Amino acid sequence: MVTQDDIRAAAARIAPHIRRTPVIRLSAEDTGLGFPLTLKLEQLQVTGSFKPRGAFNRMLSASVPPAGVIAASGGNHGIAVAHAARILGVKAEIFVPEITSEAKRARIAETGATLMVGGAAYDQARRASEARAAETGALIVHAYDQAEVLAGQGTVGLEFEEDAPDLTHLVVAAGGGGLYGGIASWYQERVDMIVAEPDECPTLLAAGLAGQPVDVPSGGIAADSLGARRVGALPFEVLSSVGGRLVVVKDDMIRTAQRWLWDRLRVVAEPGGATAFAVVLGGGWTPPEAAEVGVLVCGANCDPASILG
């Protein structure tokens, strides 16, 4: 298990390379939902998502070989690894699936990383990246199933607790589970974790029902960021230890959450970035009375026009 000390060490290690993203509090009148919310705007992180935290921590914790680093990603992790590799002066190869948007592919290519398309979905891209790493000896930077990556993502929780210490509930989105796993490792049981998943790729829910990670179909509007077919072994270990309420939301509610964030706050969030907010907007969970609810907006790598379309 990743510990609080691991996360504190990660925070110190990555501090020169990331932003401390802002936290804003919305009153019940602001939200119109009957309860206040505290949002952490992690979509303002460098590269437009939380992913650089884990990428930098993994790369700064390891000895990177001459072959550099390699990663598979639906987009955001690949952008983060490519960015970190450029900053740290190492080679990077990024494998993406065919569903990765042109905007995300362009962001990866802009860094100078080598971009490879490896199959129709994330799982195929991951296998292609692992085969390539076996050939070259490159360091694998996994999107969600390495301790260093979880510790990096856990720094989101460290910051959130420092800036909003009175939270009782925290809503986060999950795909492979790295963000949830890192944040839950920080908080342990000091807050109730609400884990939001698109109903077309419910990896944690399926694992919880089966008692172990299992493959699930991957589709829907958030598949390029939350489209892992199986939750990671480490995040599942955290779920088994720390727990969390699992809530699935439909694509139309995710799209509604994107528009709400734009219309009310002028916050651009990609579908995966808005999935946690979709839960509190009407996606299957109502906070108990007097709850102090935090929500993580975790990514913004989309065409803003798609929010209004």
Distance between start and end Cα atoms, the chain: 43
Q: Which pLDDT belongs to residue 42? A: 97
Q: Which tens digit of pLDDT belongs to each residue from 143-190? A: 999 999 999 999 999 999 999 999 999 999 998 899 999 999 999 999
**Domain match, 226 and 268 both:** yes
Q: pLDDT, tens digit, for every residue of 38-68?
A: 999 999 999 999 999 999 999 999 999 999 9
Phi-psi category of residue 177: left, alpha or beta, with phi > 0 → left and psi -120 to 50 → alpha? left
Tell me, what CATH number does 134's domain have?
3.40.50.1100
Are 258 and 235 found together in one domain?
yes
Residue 71: name the closest of 113, 37, 102 by CA. Answer: 113
pLDDT, position 118: 80
Instruction: State the pLDDT at residue 122.
Output: 82
Reported as half-sphere exposure (CB side, CA atoms, 13 A), residue 147 has a value of: 9
Statement to judge: residues 37 and 159 lie in one domain: yes
Residues 163 and 278 in one domain: yes
Residues 131 and 228 in one domain: no
The number of domains in the chain is 2
Residues of the chain with pLDDT under 50: none
* Per-residue confidence (pLDDT) for residue 159, from 0 to 100: 99
Q: Which residues of 18-57 are buried (b: 16+ CB within 10 A; e: fewer)?
A: beebebeebeeeebebebbbbbbbbbbbbbbbbbbbbbbb
Are 118 and 233 within one domain? no
Residues 216 and 239 both lie in one domain: yes
pTM value surpassing 0.85: yes
- Which residues span the domain enclosing 12? 4-49+146-308
Instruction: Check residue 221 and give its pLDDT.
Output: 82
**187 and 132 in one domain?**
no
As a whole number of angstroms, the distance between CA 195 and CA 180 comes to 7
| Same domain for 59 and 41 | no
pLDDT of residue 234: 94
